Structure 1
Amino acid sequence: MKKATAFIMLVLSIAAASGVYLVYREDFSPTMAEVEPALTICKSLIAEQWHTPLLAAISLFWLLTVLLSLTVLFERKKVPEITAEKPPVAIEQSSQNDETNKQLELLRQQLTDAEKAMSETRDRAGQLLSQNEDLKAQLEKFSVSSSEKDELSKLGAEIESLQSTAKSRAEAAEKAEKELANLKSEQQKNSEKLAAARNKLEKAENESKAAKKEAEKTASQLKSAQSDVSSKTEEIASLRQQLEEVNEQLKSAQADARGGKNAIPPAAYQILYLFQKEGRLIDLLKEDVSDYDDETLGGAIRPIHEGCRKLLEDRLILEPVLNEEEGSEVTLDEIDPEAIKLSGSVPASGPYTGELIHRGWRLKECNLPELVSGWKGNVIAPAEIEIS
Structure 2
Amino acid sequence: MKNEAPYTVPFDTMEAFMADALKGVGVPEEDAKVCADILINADKRGIDSHGIGRLKPIYYDRIKKGIQHPVTEFEIVKETFTTAVIDGHDGMGHVIAKRAMQMAIDKAKIYGMGMTVVRNSTHYGFAGYYPLMAIENNMIGITGTNARPSIAPTFGVENMLGTNPITFGMPSDEPFPFVIDCATSVSQRGKIEVYDRENKELPEGWVIDRQGNSRTDTKQILIDLVKGEAALTPLGGIGEDTGGYKGYGYATVVEILSAALQGGSFLKGLLGFDPNGNAQPYHLGHFFIAINIDNFIEPDAFKKTTGDILRDLRNSDKMPGQDRIYTAGEKEYDKWLERKDTGVPVNDALIKDILAIKAELGLNQYSFPFEK
Fold match by TM threshold 0.5: no
Q: Determine which structure has more spread, i.e. the larger CA radius of gyration.
A: 1
TM-score (norm 2): 0.19
Which has the larger share of strand? 2
Higher relative contact order (CA 8 A, sep 6+): 2
